[in-house]
Amino acid sequence: MSNILEQYYRQPEIYISIPNNGEFYPPGVLELPETGEIPVYAMTAKDDINLRTPDALISGEAIAQLITSCVPSIKDPWQVPASDVDYLLVAIRIASYGGEMELEFNCSECEHEFNYIVGLEPYIHQLSEATFSDDNKIIPYGEIKIHLKPLSYTDLTFIQRRTFEEQRALRAIEGSEDASEEEKTEFYNNILNTMTDININSIASGVKGIELPDGTFINNKEEIIAFVNNASIRLFKKISGVIQSERDKSSLDPLKIECPECNHEFESPLLFDYAHFFA
């Protein structure tokens, strides 16, 4: 039975285009209308509660649920290119609270505390233009071609979570009074190996597949990881350099701020601390 109140449910607040026209979205992940623009809804109270749950933020589940709720055209947020996530979140913020955001700052010169209003429209425009360069999609390497892609939100979350866990374990062993120096050395070596594996896996996650001379396309993840592990350092640096340069495109310009008390000018990065970004 339909609910008569459904007509008063939230409606789309803004419409946005997807960078790269959704090229890097797996089949079935993005429902793109003929207009090329998808609707963005305001957050619900449930979304707000999820964003204040630390475990859900660390696991990435809170952001995945937020995108599902506010951008229903995206059917599986875990498969969204990681480079698009901040773009979607800025759009959700605008849809929920408008195009301005108030931030608190302490002047680095006179320590005066003040609020600063940030307009989000320039940032959503910048992020919408952060497209994957055609020149970087394929790296020729002898007889084969290495096809690159943005990391997915799943890839990024896995890397961030594993890095966080290893850093937490490192702090724990450093503060331990019971562990011997030999045990600490062994632990450090294990963490170093793990962090190396995480780094290699992150680079391998940016490889869409490898095209052989006969046209065969290898996209098995384990085979790609093994290939990256055994590639020359020159090729590894070339792949990682391209991936990093594409990531840098979604780095936001710093805020240029002037203290209203002493007129001191300084810059501050606009960081997405998601628990506060949507406050």
Instruction: Please write the tens of the pLDDT for every residue from 173-197.
Output: 777 777 777 877 888 888 888 888 8
Given a cut of 80, whether residue 273 has pLDDT beyond it is no
Type of residue numbered 86: D
Same domain, 11 and 82: yes
Angle at 59 between CA 94 and CA 171, to 5 degrees: 120
Same domain, 158 and 97: no
Distance of alpha carbon 170 from alpha carbon 164, whole angstroms: 10
Distance of alpha carbon 16 from alpha carbon 38, whole angstroms: 5
Exposure on the CB side of residue 181, measured as CA atoms within 13 A: 0
Same domain, 234 and 272: no
Check residue 14 and report its DSSP letter: E
Same domain, 120 and 26: yes
Same domain, 172 and 53: no
* Residue ranges making up the domain that contains 182: 134-248
Pair 47, 68: CB distance under 8 Å: no
What pLDDT, on a 0 to 100 scale, did the predictor assign at position 274? 63
Type of residue numbered 30: L
Same domain, 159 and 224: yes
Given a cut of 90, whether residue 279 has pLDDT beyond it is no
Exposure on the CB side of residue 268, measured as CA atoms within 13 A: 16
Same domain, 176 and 218: yes
Q: Quick one: tokens of 154?
A: 């799943």
- Predicted TM-score (pTM) of the model is 0.85
Exposure on the CB side of residue 228, measured as CA atoms within 13 A: 30
What pLDDT, on a 0 to 100 scale, did the predictor assign at position 278? 67
Please provide the distance, in angstroms rounded to a whole number, between the alpha carbons at the two ends of the chain: 35
Type of residue numbered 199: N
What pLDDT, on a 0 to 100 scale, did the predictor assign at position 57? 80
Closest listed residue to residue 239, CA positions, set 206, 199, 195, 193: 206
Q: How far is CA 235 from the centre of its chain?
A: 25
Pair 269, 117: CB distance under 8 Å: no
Same domain, 81 and 105: yes
Same domain, 161 and 257: no
**Mean per-residue pLDDT over the chain, rounded:** 89
Give the three-state DSSP class for 213.
Answer: coil
Same domain, 86 and 172: no
Same domain, 264 and 225: no
What pLDDT, on a 0 to 100 scale, did the predictor assign at position 268? 87
Given a cut of 60, whether residue 275 has pLDDT beyond it is no
Span 135-156, mean pLDDT? 93
Q: How many domains does the chain have?
A: 2
What pLDDT, on a 0 to 100 scale, did the predictor assign at position 272? 64
Give the tens place of pLDDT for each residue, 215-234.
999 999 999 999 999 999 99
Residues paired with residue 232 on neighbouring β-strands, in sequence order: none
Span 111-121, mean pLDDT? 92
| Residue with tokens 């003929």, as numbered in its chain | 34
Span 96-113, mean pLDDT? 91
Span 87-113, mean pLDDT? 92
Same domain, 139 and 119: no
Give the three-state DSSP class for 106.
Answer: strand
Residues paired with residue 15 on neighbouring β-strands, in sequence order: 39
Q: How confident is the model at residue 140 (pLDDT cuts 50, 70, 90)?
A: very high
Q: Quick one: tokens of 231?
A: 């590639």
Closest listed residue to residue 204, CA positions, set 221, 185, 179: 221
Check residue 30 and report its DSSP letter: B
Span 7-34, mean pLDDT? 92
What pLDDT, on a 0 to 100 scale, did the predictor assign at position 89? 93
